[in-house]
Amino acid sequence: MKYVAIFISTVVLIYAGQIKVPTSFSASFTQKITNAKKKVIKYSGKVLLNSSGSLKWSYRKPSKKEVCSNGKSFTIVDHDLEQVSFHKLERALDLTSILKKAKYHKDSLYVAKYQEVLYTFSLDKKGRIDQIAYKDTLDNVVNIHFQNMRYSNKPNLNSRMTCPYPQAYDIIRG
């Protein structure tokens, strides 16, 4: 699930009939993951994204957790477990390639295939991402709905894009 969230954030930037990468993006989100046995897990929180590839998912429910990435590595801070994990991504996330592959499908829907996964994007009336849906490599069906979206011509401050944690947390390097 954590890896999925990192990838999803990279495709949040499709805009209207044209593919456009705003300098930054922020929104509240609800995420629903349904596994092959129809078990559903729901998450909610906020997401920040810069066109440079940096992102931050701040999960608030059902547990408090942050996932931060620069596109090449990511950090997960799990406050319930009092644990911080540092990981390198197996494959770099190429935001430009994903956006270039997104094609208009019908109505306000766009599709893109990236790393053998087909993503469907729904746009709101202002041409901003409303929802993303896809089936991940573990056969989970993922649907992310965005609320209170804001696109900006200024990047989010680097200090807002980090995942701070108390020094007492356990460290895991992966």
Rounded Cα gap, residues 55 and 113, in angstroms: 21
Could you tell me the pTM of the whole model?
0.80
In the prediction, which pLDDT does 151 show? Answer: 87
- Number of structural domains in the chain: 1
Q: Indicate which CATH number applies to the domain containing 90.
A: 2.50.20.10
Tokens of 59: 């999960």
Segment 113-135 mean pLDDT: 84
The CA distance from 104 to 68, in Å, is: 30
Residue 99, pLDDT score: 60
Q: Residue 133's domain spans which residues?
A: 2-173
Burial of 84 (0-12, 13-18, 19+ CB in 10 A): buried
62 upstream amide cis, omega within 30 of 0: yes
- 172 is written with which tokens? 């895991």
